[in-house]
């Protein structure tokens, strides 16, 4: 049964890749067939494996941040950030990275940032004579790292998955914070090679038009985004600083990012900051179905003790010192063809607590290594992120960029991820 479930998880990923259909749909089918007919479970119990908390969090947060997308706040913010560095063209990889990270951290999410930053970045690469691979890696790293922020889409998903795996809320917050910091630091070293190359080649940026100022609705939207971020972050941060304060502990327990986001959605609707229909239309249904569908199959896997057996195999068949690196490599391989948010983390996060408990390894280290490994190959042209970047590239550069993503971007990102896993193994030693 364990082998069958593992096979079905892999098969769902393969079928999704081959057919270009949502992996979550295949995962739901396998969850129903295996759970109902092979494990004699009640279909209602299988429906109960649909992760309501993750679904509602993504739905609520996406609804709010979609106002900033529809009314142009995020795009204009990106243009302003780009314009600030027009006199330093050799820093373009860093500028694209920082701009993408800030926009993603403000809640746009990985795919949204790629969608409107990629065309702009490739245009700037043309104007400056910068290689497309440098621009592609800068966007990808920035969108990934920024989205990992504790109040942005990926960060929220990571925290929820950790809590569903038995990790305490405060520990999950700290773990996601370390993930965010790590995925912001690694790209700085990788992108430095492109910055040095651009500096040596003395590239120049021309004909960049100064962006328009924010209008009233955009200013209000930006203020609401920052205010929501403050409200959601202040509780956990104060609780870390003052862990024994009763009032802070009470406040921290009552703050729920999904509910706060819905309140801000109501405020945005009341102020008519954007067209409601357009805001709803931008909800990432594909991501929701993928994450929740895989979540149902993982629920069946947990019921069949698959997760326990897999974690036991890792504990006993792999030397403890190699476990973080193995998880990093496995995550990178999975992410080459599939989604970090929809497949890799829902599949691997549940085994972390038991591995950490039995091996004595720091669970933060294991969570970070999974994400770092997964995001090392997230730029693969066969994954959703890489295909979005490739789709935004001008037609005459597509073939070259496709090859560069495979033979340059992925190996460079993979090497950086393995080195990071080794370094983190020394920094985050034990529980």
d(CA 247, CA 400) in angstroms, rounded, equals 58
Nearest to 181 by CA among 428, 415, 403, 430: 428
pLDDT tens digits along 249-305 = 888 888 888 899 999 999 999 999 999 999 999 888 888 898 889 889 988 988 888
pLDDT tens digits along 199-234 = 787 766 655 677 889 999 999 999 999 999 899 888
Greater confidence (420 vs 88) lies with 420
Residues 6 or more apart whose CB falls under 8 angstroms from that of 325 comprise 369, 418, 421, 422, 425
Nearest to 156 by CA among 411, 390, 345: 345
What sign results for the dihedral spanned by CA atoms 233, 155, 260, 97?
positive
pLDDT of residue 224: 95
DSSP 429: -
pLDDT tens digits along 313-362 = 666 666 788 889 999 998 998 888 777 887 889 888 988 998 888 888 89
């Amino acid at each position: 049964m364990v082998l069958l479930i593992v096979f079905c998880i892999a098969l769902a990923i393969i079928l999704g890749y081959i057919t270009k259909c949502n992996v979550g749909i295949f995962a739901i089918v396998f969850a129903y067939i295996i759970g109902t007919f092979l494990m004699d479970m009640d279909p209602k119990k299988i429906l109960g494996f649909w992760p309501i908390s993750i679904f509602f969090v993504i739905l609520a947060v996406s609804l709010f941040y979609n106002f900033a997308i529809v009314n142009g706040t995020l795009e204009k913010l990106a243009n302003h950030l780009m314009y600030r560095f027009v006199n330093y063209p050799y820093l373009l990889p860093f500028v694209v990275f920082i701009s993408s990270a800030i926009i993603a951290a403000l809640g746009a999410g990985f795919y949204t940032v790629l969608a409107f930053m990629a065309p702009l970045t490739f245009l700037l690469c043309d104007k400056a004579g910068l290689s497309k691979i440098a621009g592609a890696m800068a966007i990808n790293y920035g969108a990934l790292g920024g989205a990992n922020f504790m109040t942005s889409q990926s960060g929220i998903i990571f925290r929820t998955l950790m809590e569903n795996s038995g990790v305490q809320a405060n520990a999950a917050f700290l773990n996601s914070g370390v993930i965010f910091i790590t995925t912001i630091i690694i790209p700085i070293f990788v992108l430095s090679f492109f910055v040095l190359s651009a500096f040596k080649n003395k590239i120049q940026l021309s004909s960049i038009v100064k962006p328009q100022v924010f209008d009233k609705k955009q200013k209000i939207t930006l203020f609401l985004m920052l205010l929501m971020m403050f409200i959601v972050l202040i509780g956990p941060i104060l609780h870390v600083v003052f862990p024994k304060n009763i009032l802070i502990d009470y406040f921290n327990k009552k703050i729920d990012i999904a509910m706060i986001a819905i309140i801000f959605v109501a405020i945005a609707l009341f102020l008519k900051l954007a067209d409601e229909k357009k805001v709803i239309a931008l909800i990432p249904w594909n991501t929701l179905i993928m994450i929740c569908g895989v979540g149902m199959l993982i629920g069946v896997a947990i019921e069949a003790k698959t997760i326990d057996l897999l974690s036991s195999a890792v504990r006993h068949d792999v030397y403890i010192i190699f476990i973080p690196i193995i998880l990093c490599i496995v995550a990178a391989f999975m992410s080459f063809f599939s989604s970090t948010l929809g497949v890799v983390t829902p599949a691997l996060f549940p085994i972390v607590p038991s591995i950490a408990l039995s091996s004595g390894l720091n669970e933060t280290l294991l969570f970070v290594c999974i994400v770092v490994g997964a995001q090392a190959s997230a730029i693969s042209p066969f994954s959703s992120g890489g295909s979005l970047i490739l789709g935004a590239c001008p037609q005459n550069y597509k073939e070259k960029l496709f090859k560069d993503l495979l033979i340059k971007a992925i190996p460079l990102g993979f090497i950086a991820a393995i080195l990071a896993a080794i370094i983190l193994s020394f920094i985050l030693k034990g529980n």
